Structure 1
């Protein structure tokens, strides 16, 4: 094994710095360098330890007088004149450049810094100045940031970012895009024409906005859009698709979304616009094709993965091709979970009807009957549907497996939204003007794209990656009037990680 620097806490609360040369069944061959009681001393001791590892000089032999200067009864610490989390900065900057964002924003440095700050430590625009300073980046002033924000809300600026994302994702004819919406609330009681109370996915009563996100099949974000807080989810999709198609000049798009995103009018508008859709359908009744199969096979059981096909019965095109096809698939695991839930609800319904527990909300209790009773017809219908999931599509040229596989990619866009609301804290609680909110979401989308890129290359979550690379720093120390450069030692596994992140820039 290669020698490495080890730090351990001592009984007195100091941090001991050691060089470990070898290990054998728990026993270590090491050399004690010294103990530090503050960050400056620790940085110096790490530098000494690295010199020992490199073997270029004996420890403490820097050609300098390292005796700390006495100030009264205390010894003055060695000053660290600068500190930089270079590996983290380089990783984020490398991803930003690889995505083409530098060119798309005309090398807008303030925007790049805001994206970096949001990845490192999400917070307000004022907080971003402190976050960047902590990792060694000199950012623009808060006044300059506020002055530049309106630029990031402009449609042209956002469209250029969308085009860069689409180019990175390899968007072309026949592209498959995922669509989902979320809501972001504001900590205020007073709304406006944009921030309005509405259906909240977080069950909040405060004013909110509705945010739509387009992503490619891998969950890589392509475009983000903000809408009034009370706008129906079904009305957000088509404007997002049309804007995306226009900004990247592609008109052969298949959008994948959940049933809640579609109304009959929505599906018609999408197909009339020359686009296609794949959606998960609600199945309130046993479909005709399943009834027919059951009638023909009264004793048979469904098999895991079994698929039934039903063409659109409302009409076919002039060539006899149906306008849409719905595939129904049975999943044993889905059925198991659903039947377990039904049994639990039926048990509560029977106790509620018997007066043993209070009736709260239970769909199997028939309150309209002359006497409260369990709705057994509804129970049996739900049991018959257990394990059945429907998938409707206008892409009649795709196979059932292709349609179902495309729909399952929606899990990836849900992950993107989770990243934006947790790791990147997208909720714009610091903004009130529409312009500032749009600018904020532009920064968040770019940070999501950079984060996705870093996760794909590193194999680590964004939060873990930032926490790992943030520890390895370079220092400038002033010793006896001279500047000494020092660096945290980088273990072999971190070097491997850095190679994954920037393979073209690191030696093999």
Structure 2
């Protein structure tokens, strides 16, 4: 029977309450009352919908002696005039302002709201308007958002955010910065001058862009840059470092990166600029100092944590120090994992050679014409290298443990990239112009910084934190023209959590 109240799930996991008045051309004519994130809120919205159907809202005159049935009873609930996820919004505000983003952006409320929406429910810029409405924030219009995007793509705007991030991270002379690269693909078959097919981290064939990220040693983002999808990873590092130096007036930085990020020209450019570097070293033979040790100790096994060093043989500086030094370290756990992986790949290679499984990419399957064999020699060679990792640096006065520990922090920037792709859905699938893509990545970087700080303060993942705080809302109720405030009761552990988030 119409009209009636309908409850339907939303994409964000909430429950939308609607009033269906009639059907026209088999389509419902309806009013959207609101979205509920809990049973109490759902009951309030359903009561509001029923009052709309009944065409009457009972009132209570607070100041009169004789009253009608009191508003607020089960049969006569108070109307909700406003609601917001106040605790989540307040936590975001505390972190956003604590990072200095409000000052860096000149108090740009549109940008702040886009960052908030990216954290709460990642989606398109149009979707962000609905996301903000669901948590009780009034968004700018879609037209206003589109007009603002070119500003967020402006290098000057991005540099202000970089300065704020660097200031928060305490960046100074000799600071370690981590560098990594990822790729973001687009669901299109048509490349352009910016979105180009290239080596994809996700093994995609579609046009993509290459994204470089600089972070501090904790994985806190400092700068993000977008490059053509077919740009070599080694060509992205120097522009990113130069931009960070210019934005924060840095003259001395130590760059930590994987070996794949360093080309010979990259390394020389860093040396010429007077910067330090720590990078992973790739090798296919037993390194010289380890081979020499093995000759001297033929009956000995490696010890977990055992370290060898090899100074640069090309020459020494005027102070007598070598230009660079490489440390090699053996890890028992790394060796165990590597040997297990090699054994698994050899087993698959044997199955493929025997015709039991299809031949896929496997380094231990050797093809010579139509003949397939297992390359046991390569497996033996790789097994001999299992557990050994190399680290090269031009900071020759650092002890081996400091160098190796600095390199091991790279997992933090990898974690930051995972947050951007999963929790923040960084892939700019709704953009095609370079300025729009750059603006999108600026918003994502700010959201990464806020998300990193939220996770650091609470020890919770960003997704879990957002889910938790969205359950607790504040309400404004109307009682005959008087505003009454109400809130979902907070358990003790949630109160402690909010205190951690809102501290300055």
TM-score range with shorter-chain normalisation? Answer: 0.7 to 0.9
Q: Aligned residue for 2:128? A: 128
1:489 to partner: Cα distance:
1.1
Q: Aligned residue for 1:362? A: 362
Q: Given the superposition, is the C-alpha separation of residues 42 and 383 from structure 1 closer, same or farther in structure 2, using an over 3 Å criterion?
A: farther
Q: Given the superposition, is the C-alpha separation of residues 456 and 344 from structure 1 closer, same or farther in structure 2, using an over 3 Å criterion?
A: closer
CA offsets 1:479-499 (integer angstroms, 9 cap, x no match)? 344432211111211111111
1:199 to partner: Cα distance:
0.8
1:365 to partner: Cα distance:
3.7
CA contact (8 A) 1:116 1:447 kept: yes
How many residue pairs are counted as aligned between the two chains?
450
Secondary structure of 2:227's counterpart equals strand
Q: Confirm or deny that 1:137 pairs with 2:137.
A: yes
CA contact (8 A) 1:270 1:276 kept: yes
Q: Aligned residue for 2:340? A: 340
CA contact (8 A) 1:150 1:436 kept: yes
Q: Given the superposition, is the C-alpha separation of residues 40 and 361 from structure 1 closer, same or farther in structure 2, using an over 3 Å criterion?
A: closer
CA offsets 1:41-99 (integer angstroms, 9 cap, x no match)? 789xxxxxxxxxxxxxxxxxx997554699xxx96754211001111111101101000
1:259 to partner: Cα distance:
1.1
CA contact (8 A) 2:172 2:250 kept: yes
CA offsets 1:381-413 (integer angstroms, 9 cap, x no match)? 112101111111111111110111001101110
CA contact (8 A) 1:41 1:78 kept: no
Q: Distance in 1 between matches of 2:137 and 2:164?
A: 25
Q: Distance in 2 between matches of 1:229 and 1:205?
A: 11
Q: Distance in 1 between matches of 2:66 and 2:406?
A: 65
Q: Aligned residue for 1:38? A: 43
Q: Distance in 1 between matches of 2:202 and 2:356?
A: 32
Q: Distance in 2 between matches of 1:35 and 1:464?
A: 21
Secondary structure of 1:132's counterpart equals helix
1:217 to partner: Cα distance:
0.4
Q: Given the superposition, is the C-alpha separation of residues 306 and 126 from structure 1 closer, same or farther in structure 2, using an over 3 Å criterion?
A: same
Q: Given the superposition, is the C-alpha separation of residues 151 and 357 from structure 1 closer, same or farther in structure 2, using an over 3 Å criterion?
A: closer
Q: Aligned residue for 2:255? A: 255
The gaps in structure 1 that reach 5 residues or longer are 1-33, 44-61
Secondary structure of 1:38's counterpart equals helix
CA contact (8 A) 2:256 2:278 kept: yes
Q: Distance in 2 between matches of 1:300 and 1:63?
A: 97
Between 380-389 and 351-360, report the one with greater CA deviation.
351-360
Q: Given the superposition, is the C-alpha separation of residues 82 and 35 from structure 1 closer, same or farther in structure 2, using an over 3 Å criterion?
A: closer
The gaps in structure 2 that reach 5 residues or longer are 1-38, 49-64
Q: Given the superposition, is the C-alpha separation of residues 64 and 435 from structure 1 closer, same or farther in structure 2, using an over 3 Å criterion?
A: farther
Secondary structure of 1:367's counterpart equals strand
CA contact (8 A) 1:81 1:478 kept: yes
Q: Confirm or deny that 1:476 pairs with 2:476.
A: yes
1:205 to partner: Cα distance:
1.2
The within-5 A match list for 1:82-97 is 82-97=82-97
Q: Aligned residue for 2:398? A: 398
CA contact (8 A) 2:180 2:414 kept: yes
TM-score (norm 1): 0.84
